[in-house]
């Protein structure tokens, strides 16, 4: 199975499972996605203050070369909860499939955990100690939120959507969310 076929299978499975959830379970996931996107926005605000976007644009995405496993079920849930159209990954370009001609296909609040918590040395050198501490605090908060998603759904998500597809759908566990009324 190609990466694109795995992506399509996983997206369809998660969308179907999400749609089948009870309204109360969807509301819990919506609450968590709101908290996760708010945390990601704060992480982005800290690095935006030191012009990280310009550094990233000049670099051309060196840290993005191997991102195919970065998008997680949690990231997909944000799109589903908000009813936003999902981007189309580009697995044919030899870099992160979530990069387009203008950079990342996702707005900062929708980017994967790995993408919003990593800062290269060039960005890191521009941060004051208080900013570094704020980033560390926000990273712990975001990791905790991802843990709450995993707890709610009874599955691990940090490995990425494609890994969930391989393990849970192709591996015959049958579902990814597993968020029935527990």
pLDDT at 179: 64
pLDDT at residue 56 in the model:
78
CA 76/CA 89 separation, integer angstroms:
13
How many beta carbons lie within 10 A of that of residue 90, not counting itself? 16
**pLDDT recorded at residue 181:** 44
* pLDDT for 55: 80
pLDDT of residue 182: 43
Instruction: Return the domain boundaries, the chain.
Output: 3-170
DSSP per-residue string spanning 69-129: TT--HHHHHHHHHHTPPPP---TTSSS-TTEETTEESS-GGGS-HHHHH---HHHHHH--H
Instruction: In whole angstroms, give the CA distance from residue 25 to residue 144.
Output: 19
- Residue 1 pLDDT: 87
What pLDDT shows up at residue 14? 95
Handedness of CA 163, 169, 172, 175 (dihedral sign): positive
Rg (CA), the chain: 17
Tell me, what's the pLDDT at 113?
92
The confidence score (pLDDT) of residue 67 equals 81
pLDDT means over runs of 10, the chain (182 residues):
92 94 94 96 91 78 77 94 93 84 88 90 91 96 95 88 88 74 44
């Amino acid at each position: 199975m190609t990466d694109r076929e795995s992506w399509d299978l996983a997206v369809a499975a998660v969308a179907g499972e999400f749609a089948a959830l009870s309204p109360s379970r969807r509301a819990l996931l919506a609450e968590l996605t709101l908290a996760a996107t708010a945390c990601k926005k704060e992480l982005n605000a800290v690095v935006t203050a030191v012009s990280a976007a310009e550094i990233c644009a000049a670099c051309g995405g060196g840290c993005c070369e191997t991102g195919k496993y970065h998008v997680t079920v949690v990231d997909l849930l944000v799109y589903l909860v908000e009813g936003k159209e999902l981007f189309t990954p580009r697995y044919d370009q030899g870099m992160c499939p979530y990069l387009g001609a203008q950079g990342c296909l996702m707005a900062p609040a929708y980017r994967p955990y790995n993408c919003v918590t990593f800062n290269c040395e060039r960005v890191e050198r521009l941060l004051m100690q208080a900013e570094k501490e704020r980033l560390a605090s926000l990273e712990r908060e975001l990791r905790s939120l991802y843990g709450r998603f995993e707890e709610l759904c009874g599955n691990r998500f940090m490995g990425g959507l494609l890994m969930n597809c391989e393990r849970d759908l192709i591996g015959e566990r049958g579902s990814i969310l597993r968020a029935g009324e527990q």
